[in-house]
Amino acid sequence: MTPARPPRTQRELQDVLDARVRAAGPPGPGAAAVAVLRSCEPPRFAQSVLDFTATLDPAAAHAWLADFTRTVYLAGDPCNLAVRLPPAFTSTDGEVAWYAPATGPRRRALRLLLRPVSGTLPNGAPPAPYTLRVPHGHAPGRWRLTVATDGLTLQRYLVHLGHTLAEALLTGVLAPGERIAVTHVPHLGAQPRHPAYLRVHEDVTDTARLRAYTCLEKTTARDEQ
């Protein structure tokens, strides 16, 4: 039996973070996307990240990646904004609207009209497992996305999940049509040696340290049984 791999060291986590910076390329002028959420159900939000990201033209995708897929999360009703401030993308159920990465008066107007998303995870507990699909294709690939939720507010959960899905799609890790099984744990323990994507950021309990928040790895149908 192969012994379990120990958790990553701070040096390893820093290496992952440095690789993410290199993958983003030269920094641009800054272009945050905006997500307006009427409800914050994780499966609905996560699918909207993939659906929105898949609609971006190459220039917008490049600008967003160069700004590390920075996103402002606001609470509001997309229907009330459709005429005055039409979004670039709205989920099919009308619960989530996305505004493409940009700056300017429209972004300022949104931030003046709406309040930032806040609160705890639904029911105060980690979400139940759910499955996502990358749009616009029929690739058979399967993935497991594990999210570590200990200490996360609702907003931080959306941030880490959104970054993971958007950056994995923008950098070509995910292919159209692939499926992603999302599960949750308090902490990521022994991650794979070479995960497809590892989300690393400062620890919410100790900002002098780094912590892994999400791990995306390839699986097979048998792995999910």
Residue length of the chain: 225
Element (H, E) at 14: helix 10-24
For residue 144, pLDDT beyond 80 = yes
Q: Over range 134-145, report the average pLDDT.
A: 92
Q: What are phi and psi of 181, to 5 degrees?
A: -90, 120
Instruction: Calculate what percentage of the chain has a pLDDT beyond 90.
Output: 71
DSSP one-letter code for 122: G
pTM beyond 0.85, yes or no: yes
Provide the pLDDT confidence category of residue 186 given band limits of 50, 70 and 90.
Answer: very high
CB contact set of 3 (below 8 Å; sequence gap of 6+): none
Q: What pLDDT digit, counting tens, does each position of 85-118 carry?
A: 999 999 999 999 999 998 777 778 898 899 999 9
CB contact set of 72 (below 8 Å; sequence gap of 6+): 32, 33, 34, 35, 107, 110, 111, 116
For residue 150, pLDDT beyond 70 = yes
Question: What's the pLDDT at 221?
Answer: 60
Cα–Cα distances (Å) from 34 to 14, 109, 162, 186, in that order, read: 28, 12, 12, 28
Hunting for tokens 């992603």 — which residue is that?
Answer: 180
Q: Over range 73-93, report the average pLDDT.
A: 94
Q: What are phi and psi of 4, to 5 degrees?
A: -65, 140
